[in-house]
């Protein structure tokens, strides 16, 4: 049987760093402007590392924000994979299917009228564009030519 990889919990890593630097949770909490209770919750693996906490810890210990977030995400993914109830739900979820271009051309398309309503219109053929009228410089030249006295 293959051994499962050991997943480091962010609280255990933080506890090891506190021991290595000989810092207690109260000192850390003061230095990074958090409550002592929040630090103790993390150290006891009862609270997660948020982005805000990761930013503070990375500054304090000279690591990166990604280091702390990766620790938390890895732990969360392992817990997710071991969630049997979720696994049963996921088995029942069907895969989304894109319509084929052949059948999509004759289906109604929703057009957004406002942020709260939609109107369904049947897609048929492209509307015919009317040619633009030639106003502007060309028509100004014709007007000038008709009033020209020949001088």
Mean per-residue pLDDT, 43-64: 98
Task: Answer yes or no: is 141 within a domain.
Answer: no
Task: Answer yes or no: is 125 within a domain.
Answer: no
Highest mean pLDDT of the ranges 13-22, 124-133, 139-148: 13-22
Task: Answer yes or no: is 77 within a domain.
Answer: yes
Distance CA 105, CA 72 (A): 46
Please list the residues that pair with 119 across neighbouring strands: 111
Total domain count for the chain?
1
Task: Answer yes or no: is 65 within a domain.
Answer: yes
- Least Cα distance to 60 among 47, 42, 78 occurs for 42
Question: Which two tokens mark 80?
Answer: 């997710």
Q: pLDDT value at position 82?
A: 94
Residue 104 has pLDDT above 70, yes or no: no
Q: What is the CATH number of the domain that holds 39?
A: 1.10.260.40
Question: Which two tokens mark 26?
Answer: 């109260």
Instruction: Please say whether the beta carbons of 13 and 57 come within 8 A.
Output: no
Task: Answer yes or no: is 28 within a domain.
Answer: yes
Q: Helix or strand or coil: residue 119?
A: strand
Q: Show the domain range for 61.
A: 10-91
């Amino acid at each position: 049987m293959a051994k499962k990889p050991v997943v480091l919990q962010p609280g255990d890593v933080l506890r090891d760093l506190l021991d290595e630097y000989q810092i207690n949770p109260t000192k850390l909490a003061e230095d990074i402007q958090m409550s002592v209770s929040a630090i103790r919750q993390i150290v006891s693996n009862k609270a997660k590392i948020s982005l805000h906490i990761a930013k503070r810890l990375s500054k304090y210990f000279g690591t990166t924000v990604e280091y702390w977030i990766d620790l938390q995400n890895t732990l969360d993914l392992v817990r997710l994979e071991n969630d049997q109830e979720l696994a049963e739900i996921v088995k029942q979820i069907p895969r989304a299917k894109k319509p084929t271009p052949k059948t999509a051309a004759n289906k109604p398309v929703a057009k957004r009228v406002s942020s709260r309503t939609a109107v369904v219109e049947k897609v048929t053929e492209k509307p015919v564009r009317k040619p633009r009228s030639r106003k502007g410089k060309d028509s100004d030249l014709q007007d000038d030519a008709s009033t020209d006295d020949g001088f």
